[in-house]
Amino acid sequence: MRLSYKKLFQKISSINKPRYILFVSVLGLFISFTFAQIRPKQLRKEVLESRSDKVKQANNIPGRSKRKPKPLPTPKPLAPILNPLANKNVTLIYLENSEAISFNQQINPDVQILKGNVRFRHDNAVMYCDSAYFYEKANSLDAYGHVKIVQADTLFVFGDFLFYDGNTKLARLRKNVKMINHKTTLTTDSLNFDRMTNLAYYYTGGKIADPENTLTSVWGQYNTSTNDALFRNNVIMVNKNFTMTSDSLLYNTKTKIANIVSPTKIVYQGETVINSSRGWYNTLNERSMMFDRSTVNHKDGKMMVGDTVFYDKKNNFGEAFTNVILTDTVNKSTLYGDYVYYDEKSKNGLATDSALLVDWSSKDTMYIHADTLSRFRDSIYDHVKAYYHVRFFRNDLQGICDSMFYNGKDSVIYLHYDPILWSDNNQLSGDLIKIFTKNKKVNKVDIQDNAITIQYNDSVYYNQLSGKEIIAHVDSNQLKKIDVNGNAETIFYPVDDADSSFIGMNKTKSSYVVMYLKNKKIDRVVLTSASEGVMHPLDKLKDDQLYLKNFFWIENVRPRSKADLFLIFPKIEKKNPALSPPKEGDIKNKENKEKGLKPLNVR
């Protein structure tokens, strides 16, 4: 109820005068106190006036220009705002579930804040997380906590954080990342996954594992469609049977084949070591093909190297092509060829095409060449077989034949089909030659059938010894004694000790003959009692008397060095000079001998 002041005073006037005076005094005090306490909007006014005064004072600072305050800019979104509909190839991300959703246009413009069982769908991929920022206009999202991506029900990716761009389909996962593709698992701390190309890569260290192999590297790339993986920097592959280390490596998790693209080392439980810079290796069947002088080293001392190497570790054999070297450090031998095969279990080896066997087990190295060289082992002993166009060289012994066999049991070398041996100025030949060795040194040579030994004096006069069987005894790599058994025939030119001139020609026939040599020269000849012999003066000799019937001298095919082993000669013709026209040099030497002149060196 509201009363005007006039009516109020009329009502007061009706009151007696003393009371009236008292009442007016009290009322005046009350009104004065009330108006002194109540000041509506005064505080706001004073604050604003105070703020206005401070601004004026600030604007009145000498030298300072007056500027109008600028409005605060709108905060930029965390993800770039692009129009996904502008690109025909871009598809939209759909939010399928969230327990809570909120917006804050000032703090996070164009961002939906999602919490609790968040689920998105993009094409054939479903993404789960605990919470997320969804940039619907930018077609992207940031996901946090228990992140999981399921693509086509076959690919699963996990992590703590996910930053996903739906326009480029690039997923960046961080912390405790795991990708599972069928039976392949990739683990790392940071992973970028391009869903457009199905390519995942890490760069801070990672691991890819399948049921057969586990690979680790600093940088890695994995294609979930092709199952191809590329690894770089400190690459290590661990298999139950071997460990492979490299700087770069290609691997397919489906085929289990590793492609070697940089210097790579494979170690098999301390048994075999492979080094290669280019090739491939099948980890399922443990077969490999390698190039560029790859090497295979085995614990038994064998090492194979070649331009192209095929190796089967499961079956323990390998073969190599072009400029192949198979070295045996235990037996101290090396096998060369443009094709070499070696079986680790049977200890069998074979070389063809420019095949060469080098035995460096003794002080003097032996070189053997043939169309095919093979080395094999029975239960105890090693054997060597060489066949077709065999040629061998050692400083103290050289030879040729069509095939050769070394029996490790009795340490005997068998030379077949037109075998010929040379030692110093001696030539030995027959239908079959057996070379007996002891401690890898020759101690006896047995020549059988059509056996003949010839010692060169000059181009006209040769010491000759022929029989059914000839046994040459060797000591310290020098001929010391020769035994001739059966139908022994000799032609021997005794030498005058005074001037080293020939006395004449001694020709004998006997059942058995023993010839002793000293300082590489014939010292004496011992014949059986039933023998016949004639000494012929040199000036009375006829050409058909100079040689035994099976004499031939073919010094021109003799290997003089290891390089001569690869020389090719036509089929050997064993010509007897007595049955052939003499050479001009031979005639001249004969004339010089008769005149006491020095013979020509014609060979």
Residue 57 is predicted with a pLDDT of 45
Contacts of 327 (CB under 8 A, 6+ apart): 302, 303, 304, 333, 334, 335
Tens digits of per-residue pLDDT, 326-354?
998 988 889 999 999 998 888 888 999 88
Region of 288 on the Ramachandran plot (φ > 0 left; ψ -120 to 50 alpha; else beta): beta
pLDDT category of residue 1 using cuts at 50, 70 and 90:
very low
Distance between CA atoms of residues 329 and 343, nearest Å: 16
Tens digits of per-residue pLDDT, 385-408?
999 999 999 988 899 999 999 988
Tokens linked to 266: 């494979």
Is pLDDT at 23 greater than 80 in this prediction? no
Is pLDDT at 11 greater than 70 in this prediction? no
Tens digits of per-residue pLDDT, 363-388?
889 999 999 998 888 878 888 899 99
The neighbour count for residue 315, using CB atoms within 10 Å, is 13
Residue 534 is predicted with a pLDDT of 86
Residue 347 is predicted with a pLDDT of 83
HSE, CB side, 13 Å, CA atoms: give it for residue 32. 6
Q: Closest Cα to residue 108, out of 145, 143, 79, 140?
A: 79
Q: For residues 504 and 150, which has the higher predicted lDDT (pLDDT)? A: 150
Q: Closest Cα to residue 547, out of 588, 580, 596, 510?
A: 580
Residue 479 is predicted with a pLDDT of 80
Distance between CA atoms of residues 409 and 558, nearest Å: 29
Tens digits of per-residue pLDDT, 417-436?
999 999 888 899 999 999 99
Residue 63 is predicted with a pLDDT of 47
Provide mean pLDDT across the span 140-169. Answer: 96
Least confident of 426-430, 526-530, 561-565: 526-530
pTM greater than the 0.85 cutoff: no
Is pLDDT at 42 greater than 50 in this prediction? no
Is pLDDT at 602 greater than 70 in this prediction? no
Tens digits of per-residue pLDDT, 348-368?
889 998 899 998 888 889 999
Is pLDDT at 529 greater than 70 in this prediction? no
Tokens linked to 240: 């139950």
DSSP state of 75: P
Tens digits of per-residue pLDDT, 176-199?
999 999 999 999 999 999 999 999
Residue 54 is predicted with a pLDDT of 40
Residue 30 is predicted with a pLDDT of 44
* All domains in the chain, ordered by first residue: 77-204 (2.60.450.10), 454-594 (no CATH)
With pLDDT > 90 as the criterion, what percentage of the chain qualifies? 50
Residue 184 is predicted with a pLDDT of 96
Is pLDDT at 500 greater than 60 in this prediction? yes
Contacts of 474 (CB under 8 A, 6+ apart): 442, 443, 444, 445, 480
Residue 122 is predicted with a pLDDT of 96
Tens digits of per-residue pLDDT, 434-458?
999 887 778 889 999 989 999 888 8
* Interior/surface letters 466-485, b for 16+ CB within 10 angstroms, e for the rest: bbbbbbbbbeebebebbbbb
